[in-house]
């Protein structure tokens, strides 16, 4: 029997051309200059905690190495942009890889969602810089071809007073102490102080200042540092939830770099005939509650860490149940305002 020699099929010219194009499109790796390596190694963030920063630092090295940037000052500025992008990726569970993060799609998602509360100028500037780096460090089919308008992420609707009553009841009755504590913390801080998942992630017991009969102050850390007064309705719920936690302990979880903190707490909860609980909707509910009280808009914006009133205007169509719940109408007594008085107390 004669053995049949099988010849390998030669690749077509088109296949060879595609392979060459793919190789050409790959980032050209280089030796990172020592002065740039020093800049990245010495970079410190005023927003990220030390553990998270060390977690994202290798990504900073990879991104700058993949680029052809050589200026120390330019790289120092990009460290901040890249660190914030990487932090958003950690929250989303995305691997810190140049080819995954430095794409038009992911950068736009970060600007639209991760920087939703930022000013238009800051969002546009960070997007411009990140897209420029992406075109330089990650060329290929996913490279940003050109700048397009930044999308806007609309605010999620608030819960109605009736829905919040059900959620409050559920936060007090859970199958385990741990689930009840975590859900109560998320509900109290979300609907009672307007904190979102990122705000709650870094919060420790030391950041809760209990003033007794004068209320509770929440000293928010993270990217939107501020101090918020907890709504009275949620004081007892929060006090009960954190009463056995140690000083300096994280309110939820044990690791600083964990992701989707509040969302995981709500997903683990046992909910029957209760609306799906979302941290974003709890925050919107807190805003709706404030907007239907006699609180100046400027104070609401400061407490919420907002730069503009756009979020408030988008919530307006959902305020009907809250207006009705509080008995507010356009003929309410507060519309009349207080009368001015002359010196001596005589009314004008």
Query: For residue 228, what is the DSSP state?
Result: E
Above pLDDT 90, what percent of the chain? 47
Beta-strand ranges (E) seen in 206-253 are 208-210, 216-220, 226-229
CA nearest neighbour of 164 among 286, 270, 314: 286
**CA angle, residues 139, 145, 147, in degrees to nearest 5:** 130
The predicted-structure confidence for 232-249, as pLDDT tens digits, reads as follows 999 999 999 999 999 999
Strand partners, 204: 250
Query: What distance in Å separates the CA atoms of residue 125 and residue 32, rounded to the nearest whole number?
Result: 26
- For residue 114, is pLDDT > 60? yes
At residue 307, the pLDDT reads 81
Q: Indicate the pLDDT class of residue 311, thresholds 50, 70 and 90.
A: confident
247 Cβ neighbours under 8 A, 6+ residues apart: 205, 206
> How many Cα atoms within 13 Å fall on the side-chain side of residue 18?
5
- For residue 159, is pLDDT > 70? yes
Using a 10 angstrom Cβ sphere, with 0-12 exposed, 13-18 middle and 19 or more buried, the burial of residue 32 is: middle
- For residue 215, is pLDDT > 60? yes
Answer whether CATH 3.10.20.30 is correct for domain 161-327. Answer: no
CB 82 within 8 A of CB 63: yes
Q: Indicate the pLDDT class of residue 150, thresholds 50, 70 and 90.
A: very low
- Whole-angstrom CA distances from 236 to 3, 43, 213, 229 are 86, 42, 11, 14
At residue 224, the pLDDT reads 80
- For residue 260, is pLDDT > 80? no
At residue 344, the pLDDT reads 53
At residue 319, the pLDDT reads 92
Helix (H, G, I), strand (E, B) or coil at 4: coil
Task: Indicate where the chain has its CATH 1.10.443.10 domain(s).
Answer: 161-327
The predicted-structure confidence for 180-208, as pLDDT tens digits, reads as follows 999 999 999 999 999 988 888 889 999 99
The predicted-structure confidence for 57-113, as pLDDT tens digits, reads as follows 999 999 999 998 889 899 999 999 999 999 999 988 899 999 999 998 899 899 988
In the block, tokens 């280089």 appear at 30
Lowest-confidence range among 140-144, 224-228, 239-243, 337-341?
140-144
User: Which residue has better confidence, 227 or 151?
Assistant: 227
In the block, tokens 């038009």 appear at 104
Please state the φ and ψ torsions of residue 51, each to the nearest 5 degrees.
Answer: -65, -45
At residue 117, the pLDDT reads 77
CB 194 within 8 A of CB 287: yes
């Amino acid at each position: 029997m004669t053995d049949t020699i099988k010849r390998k099929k030669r690749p077509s010219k088109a296949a060879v051309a595609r392979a060459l194009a793919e190789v050409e499109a790959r980032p050209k790796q280089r030796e990172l200059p020592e002065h740039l390596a020093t800049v990245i190694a010495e970079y410190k963030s005023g927003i990220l905690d030390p553990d998270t920063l060390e977690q994202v630092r290798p990504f900073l090295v990879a991104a700058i190495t993949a680029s052809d940037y050589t200026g120390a000052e330019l790289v120092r500025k990009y460290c901040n942009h890249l660190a914030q992008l990487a932090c958003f990726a950690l929250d989303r569970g995305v691997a810190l890889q140049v080819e995954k993060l430095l794409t038009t799609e992911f950068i736009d998602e970060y600007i639209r969602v991760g920087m939703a509360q930022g000013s238009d100028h800051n969002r546009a500037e960070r997007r411009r810089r990140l897209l420029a780096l992406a075109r330089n460090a990650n060329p290929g089919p996913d490279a940003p071809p050109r700048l397009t308008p930044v999308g806007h992420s609309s605010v999620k609707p608030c819960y109605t007073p009736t829905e919040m009553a059900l959620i409050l009841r559920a936060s007090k009755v859970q199958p385990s102490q741990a689930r009840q504590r975590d859900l109560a913390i998320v509900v109290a801080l979300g609907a009672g102080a307007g904190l979102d998942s990122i705000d709650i992630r870094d919060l420790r017991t030391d950041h809760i200042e209990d003033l007794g009969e004068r209320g509770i102050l929440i000293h928010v850390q993270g990217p939107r540092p501020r101090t918020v007064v907890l709504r009275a309705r949620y004081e007892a719920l929060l006090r009960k939830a954190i009463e056995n936690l140690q000083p300096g302990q994280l309110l939820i979880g044990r690791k600083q770099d964990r992701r989707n903190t509040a969302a995981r707490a709500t997903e683990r909860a046992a909910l029957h005939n209760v609306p799906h609980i979302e941290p974003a909707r709890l925050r919107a509910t807190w805003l709706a509650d404030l907007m239907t009280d006699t609180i100046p808009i400027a104070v609401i914006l400061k407490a919420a860490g907002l730069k503009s009133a756009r979020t408030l205007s988008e919530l307006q169509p959902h305020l009907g149940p809250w207006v009705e719940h509080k008995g507010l109408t356009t003929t309410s007594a507060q519309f009349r305002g207080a009368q001015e008085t002359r010196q001596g107390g005589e009314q004008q």
